Amino acid sequence: MKKYGVLIAGIMALSFVLTGSWASAAEKTGFVDVREVMFTSNAGKKEADDIKKAIDKTKGIIKERETELSKLKDELEKQKPLLKEDALKDKELAYQKKYRDYQILVKDSNEEFQAKEQEILRKLIPEILKVVQAIGEKEKYGMIVDISQIPIAYHAKENELTKRVIEEFNKTYKPKK
């Protein structure tokens, strides 16, 4: 996502240099929040729902492991005074192994969800940008700025294109199988 922000900032700077001033570049400048398009479009909502279902399933597995670890720890604490040193070490090692397995599960799950999120970004952003470009060309915008990437102190609401981009994206986007 940051690559797109840097790219857009570079394009803005280049357009200011080529046009000679902010005023001439700002004559027909549109603004879109690509992040909002991603999360509120039909395709974005569907992708987010798919990830949420997977997260909920994994949370259930993690919760089971947490419960199991809690029981093992309680059992170990209760049996500690009764067990011989070797048996205590064995139980502690078994607990530590299960705890490491739990940590690996959590870490792997987080990495998996981050990878899925990045995959969605790689899939949707180019398609969203095609819609933005089509609107820009059709309506002769000099530039359209992604306000989710670049902090802008003010922009004219009549040049806000986010809702239109969402509508067009919902109409045109067809998931690739």
**Residue-wise pLDDT tens for the chain (177 aa)?**
555 555 555 555 545 544 444 444 447 899 999 989 988 999 989 888 888 898 899 999 999 999 999 999 998 888 888 888 888 898 899 999 999 999 999 999 999 999 988 888 888 999 999 999 999 999 999 999 999 888 888 888 888 999 999 999 999 887 765
Amino acid sitting at position 21: S
**100 falls within a domain:** yes
User: Within 13 Å, how many C-alpha atoms sit on residue 80's CB side?
Assistant: 8
pLDDT of residue 24: 47
pLDDT of residue 26: 44
**133 falls within a domain:** yes
Q: Which two tokens stand for residue 30?
A: 């549109």
Tell me if 36 sits within 8 A of 162, measured CB to CB.
Answer: yes
Q: Determine the structural domain holding residue 127 and report its residue range.
A: 2-172
pLDDT of residue 15: 53
Amino acid sitting at position 41: S
**CA–CA separation, 150 vs 4, rounded Å?**
10
**111 falls within a domain:** yes
Total of domains in the chain: 1
**CA–CA separation, 2 vs 10, rounded Å?**
12
Inter-axis angle of helices 42-79 and 85-138, nearest 10? 170
**CA–CA separation, 33 vs 128, rounded Å?**
11
Q: Which two tokens stand for residue 59?
A: 């949370």
**177 falls within a domain:** no
pLDDT of residue 5: 54
Q: pLDDT tens digits, residue range 43-57? A: 989 888 888 898 899
Contacts 24+ apart (CB under 8 A), 99-106: 99/69, 101/65, 102/62, 102/65, 102/66, 102/69, 105/61, 105/62, 105/65, 106/62
Q: pLDDT tens digits, residue range 139-170? A: 999 999 999 888 888 888 888 999 999 999 99
pLDDT of residue 166: 94
**94 falls within a domain:** yes
